[in-house]
Structure 1
């Protein structure tokens, strides 16, 4: 890192797409009271409180994945001695040396003091208005009306951000991040109360040939139509999400191995028998049912191995990981 960036009047850090710190300038190190070797290679979340970790995953990651940048996000980092540092955070997601990175600039939130001063001044004015004439009371009522309007707008924006953070923009299904959160919750419920569940990974067969033959708009339409079919066939308690590309995942609460296979066969056969117009669609499905030894990674891996077996076995098939020949 050159000296100009290292000593810039603002903090700077770069993280990998998975959140590990790749570089950090001295300004940010001084701001957070860390040595460089204490942060390099560590998750950026290690500089955050639990609350801010949740905020970072709920808003920063989904927003930068959707739009490629984040502008002036009010945030707080935590120093090595556990003091919160309010900042404005700007970030941009880009390719560098064949790798996706997120570059961020951090500015101390000096305007926060001005904001608090404005709030105190407003409170003082409100107290004066309450003690003043009827005209002052009318002004106070108008201020309250403006506040209510802005509060409603803030609630609307927050709801929109929450929806964006958990929804795949193309299909309208839940996204991969939401699925991963629900998978962790399902594992915790299984360990705590013994409620079993199964996981399906569904892949569209020869999807690349659809894009190559009919174009990406038709490919997007296929993804959207299949998403609607999967959602319509699922129970309210099932978690249906787009995993990425042409892959979908479904968490089936309460389904054991036999029930999960039957359910997967219903998805497969219905997809194969549907009238998709001038193109035919089939899916291959991998199934895994939770065991006491499973973690988030292992159950996904087992379902993925089963999917690979369905693909390599001729496609348009359902395979349960328990039926795989162990190597």
Structure 2
């Protein structure tokens, strides 16, 4: 890491999506009196009080999942001696080499802020509760149980928010963002193992005519039925996603050109023969198989060109990109 960042006038830290610290600069270490070994590979919440952990779960994680960043979050950290350090936190997520990471910048505050007063008052109330009779101790234990319950609820909420961020709300399939992440992962695996894989882009034929003739509610029902057909006729290892509008996409691990053509034709026939609730539906399919010369952009472009050819040649058919120029 650049020495200028290590000695920057503000604290800097990198954590993963689970909150584990993977990098911290010297400014932050000096701020809290920590050594690098004290923090590396530890959870960021290990240097927070219970009240601040609650605030972190309530505000930081949900906003990062939804918007990719958090601006001007007021937080109090603990130093190595247990002293409070009021800071202003900015966070931003980005995709690292293998997984999502979050960059955090900490600016030490010279004044206490209103919520810190509330935390100190709560702390005094807890300390007072420990000094009173057994009745107060029972109430305090109940309070702790309630806090733990709320933290569990927040963790479930965060998991739900994470799921919603990669799910298409209409069909329940994974969305384009999730598919691209999976595609990038398969590309990395390909260059390590040379294991082939393919993908299919499918377009519902004359979908605009379905909307114009039967209405958008029927169009939405067609999309949902199509999604269920794809899920029911795909392997657990496949990645099925709604790519956008009436386009759907499937990632087929360990499938070469011939196998992907067979899989595409099987799906095309299943859709054509399915007992649709409102109107007959067919699909056009474009297939492509990844090669060592491809990127995530090029394989999608090849599948899209193959799909365009299927539609241009009358629809309700399968075209593999390799057939466009006769190469494999």
- The residue that corresponds to 1:60 in the other structure is 67
Task: Structure 1 unaligned segments of length 5 or more: list them.
Answer: 1-32, 34-47, 62-72, 78-83, 90-107
> Does the C-alpha gap of structure 1 residues 173 and 112 become closer, same or farther in structure 2, counting only changes over 3 Å?
farther
The separation in 2 between residues aligned to 1:147 and 1:166, in whole angstroms, is 29
- Give the TM-score taking structure 1 as reference length: 0.67
**1:89-123 per-position Cα deviation (integer Å, ceiling 9, x unaligned):** 9xxxxxxxxxxxxxxxxxx9x99944444444434
Question: Number of residues paired by the alignment?
Answer: 246
Partner residue, 1:174 = 174
Using the TM superposition, give the Cα deviation of residue 160 of structure 1 relative to its aligned residue in structure 2, in angstroms.
1.7
CA distance in 1, matches of 2:91, 2:113: 13
- C-alpha distance in 2 between matches for 1:186 and 1:281: 31
Deviations 1:127-148 (A, max 9, x none): 4433443123112112112202
Please report how far the alpha carbon of residue 155 of structure 1 lies from its aligned counterpart in structure 2 after TM superposition.
Answer: 1.7
Query: What do residues 152-202 of structure 1 show as CA deviations (whole Å, max 9, x unaligned)?
Result: 221222122112101100000001111111111111111122222101000
* Equivalence for 1:201: 201
**RMSD of aligned Cα (Å):** 3.3
Match of 1:291 in 2: 291
Counterpart of 2:230 in structure 1 is 230
Distance 1:88 1:113, change over 3 A: farther
Alpha carbons of structure 1 residues 326 and 151: separation in structure 2 relative to 1, 3 Å = same
1:86 aligns with 2:89: yes
CA distance in 2, matches of 1:116, 1:269: 64
* TM-superposition CA deviations, 1:212-266 (whole Å, max 9, x none): 0000001000000000000000011100000000000000011111111100001
Residue pair 2:64, 2:70 contacting (<8 A) in 1 also:
no
Rounded to whole Å, the distance in 2 between the matches of 1:152 and 1:114 is 26
Secondary structure in structure 2 of the residue aligned to 1:291 = coil
Per the alignment, residue 255 of structure 1 pairs with 255
Aligned to 2:77: none
Distance 1:211 1:151 in 2: 45
Q: Which residue is equivalent to 1:270? A: 270
Question: What are the within-5 Å matches in structure 2 for residues 210-225 of structure 1?
Answer: 210-225=210-225
Distance in 2 between the 1:225 and 1:57 partners?
Answer: 33
Distance in 1 between residues matched to 2:157 and 2:172, nearest whole Å: 18
Taking the aligned partners of 1:57 and 1:300, their CA distance within structure 2 comes to 29
TM-score (norm 2): 0.67
CA 1:121/1:293 → structure 2, altered by over 3 Å: closer, same or farther? farther
Q: Which residue is 1:21 aligned to? A: none
1:114 and 1:314 map into 2 onto residues whose CA distance is 67
Change (3 A) 1:294 1:121: farther
CA–CA separation in structure 2 for the residues paired with 1:76 and 1:236: 42
Counterparts of 2:116 and 2:197 in 1: how far apart (Å)?
49
> Could you say which structure has the larger radius of gyration?
2
Partner Cα separation in structure 2 for residue 112 and residue 250 of structure 1: 53
Determine the C-alpha separation between the residues in 2 that align with 1:167 and 1:220. 16
Alignment check: 8 A CA contact 2:70 2:90 kept: yes
**Structure 2: how far apart are the matches of 1:51 and 1:112?**
29
Change (3 A) 1:189 1:118: farther
The equivalent residue for 1:311 is 311
Mapping of residues 2-41 of structure 1, within 5 Å? none
Q: Distance in 1 between matches of 2:16 and 2:173?
A: 27
Cα 1:76–1:175 change in 2 (3 A) is farther
